[in-house]
Chain A
Amino acid sequence: MKISLTINYKKHKFDLPVNRTLSELLRSQGFWSVKQGCVAGDCGNCTVILDGRAVNSCIMLAVQADAMHVETFEHIDMATEFAPLKEVLMDFGDIDCGYCMPGMMMAMKALLVKIPDPTEEEILDALAGSVCRCTSSVKPVAAISEALRLMRGKW
């Protein structure tokens, strides 16, 4: 089936089998930040932003995203958009393997676009579908809350 998709602000056309998931398509195009963790919508490691909303790309067919805009972690500039986050994550001892981080960053970006100054509760809610198996979700949430405090006013 033929579809058109805008990925990170670049237009693409694909002819693909209808059962291809969005995460499979993105990875086949070299967007390796889209991790295939549980492939059941439980871990959030495949999170991308689809037309402004964070979604699990592993439980969505690529054809469902026809004519939409997908944003992946490759498009995020950590040096500018999330400047203090890298240091804060290291300070909090948050990153072990880093597998969950792209998905978490995409969930966080979708939250910030919607709510520039989120509360702790809103951060917890936004990251509830993102699982970090190394550190539990306590450290990532604490680190992201601290980074948001430092970034206040930037979004």
Chain B
Amino acid sequence: MLSNLKAYFRPKSIPEALALLEKNSGAILVVAGGTKLLQIQNNIVQELVDITALGLNYIRESSSEIRLGATTPLQYLVDSATAGGMLAEAARLSDRSTMIRNVSTVGGQLISTTPLSPLYCAFLALQAQVRIAGGSEFALAMNIFLNKKGLEGGLLVEVIVPKTKPTTFSAIAPIQSNGQHPLICACTRITFMNSTCSEAKLAITGTQKVPQRLHAVETFLEGKKLNEANVAAAADIACEMYHPISDAMASEEYRNEVARVVVKRTLRDCLEQFEDNLESQT
């Protein structure tokens, strides 16, 4: 286990961390929780840069957004009233073990685990951005970050989740497997205006190698009432437009059917929340 590891650094500032990463070759890795690193028996890495002393363990809320520091443990999201709702549930589903969630970090979920993490899916549906330090700091939309090969020498420092309107409701529906992540997981965010869906954002993980935004479903739903017929039609589009992968875990047909179920569940859940909210106001 990490048999070639020679050095371990714990920088106190982001520039110090970036300098360490810059001066070394490919045998250096960033570590925060380190759970994935220790699990994969990496015998290539020679140096580790521990970023847990950079002050990136936080959940900060402003009027327009929630900022999650890269080294914030997943369990903090689960316990946080600020994160709440879909983010907290996605963090809980990202690993079934509390012991892992106590150590595994938000940044680690985006960098070192497979993109099948439900948290990744939730970030997509919530249109989150990642802030990357290095050279000049910049922010990337989650869908662009997802398709990038690497951070190009930068350091992921935080995830920025825009706050939603009072008439926006979100839901997450996993189909659990025995593995680390749910086999299939859908995340949906619907904004209502007079009982009509004015904006829809849907993402699904487990049907492809990376999470997908369901753009065709979003376009179909916008401007429509979220009745049972439209929910069923939206789920059909989710199945027809996106052909799932087939592997040892599940066949294409199974994933297709499950995708239909989880999309329906999230849409119905959003509608229920909207109706409950209406009732509580009257």
Contacts and interface: CB of A to CB of B under 8 A. Distances in A.
A55 B50 contact: no
Given A18-B5, A19-B3, A63-B8, A54 B98 contact: yes
Interface residues of A, number: 30
Q: How large is the interface on B (under 10, 10 to 19, 20 to 34, 35 or more residues)?
A: 20 to 34
A55 B34 contact: no
Contacts, number: 78
Contacts of A53: 73, 75, 102-103
A60 to B, nearest CB: 6
A107 interface: yes
Nearest to B45: A19
Interface in A1-60: 1, 17-19, 21, 39-42, 44, 47, 53-56, 58-60
Contact of B1 (A1, A21, A111): A21
9 closest Cβ contacts across the A-B interface? A129-B97, A59-B38, A19-B2, A53-B102, A19-B5, A18-B8, A129-B99, A56-B99, A128-B96
Interface of A: 1, 17-19, 21, 39-42, 44, 47, 53-56, 58-61, 63-64, 66, 107, 110-111, 125-126, 128-130
Interface of B: 1-3, 5-8, 10, 31, 34-35, 38-39, 48, 50, 52, 73, 75, 92, 96-100, 102-103
26 contacts: A17-B5, A18-B5, A18-B48, A21-B38, A39-B1, A40-B39, A42-B97, A44-B97, A53-B75, A53-B103, A54-B102, A56-B35, A56-B100, A59-B34, A60-B35, A60-B103, A63-B50, A64-B52, A66-B10, A107-B99, A126-B98, A128-B98, A129-B96, A129-B98, A129-B100, A130-B99
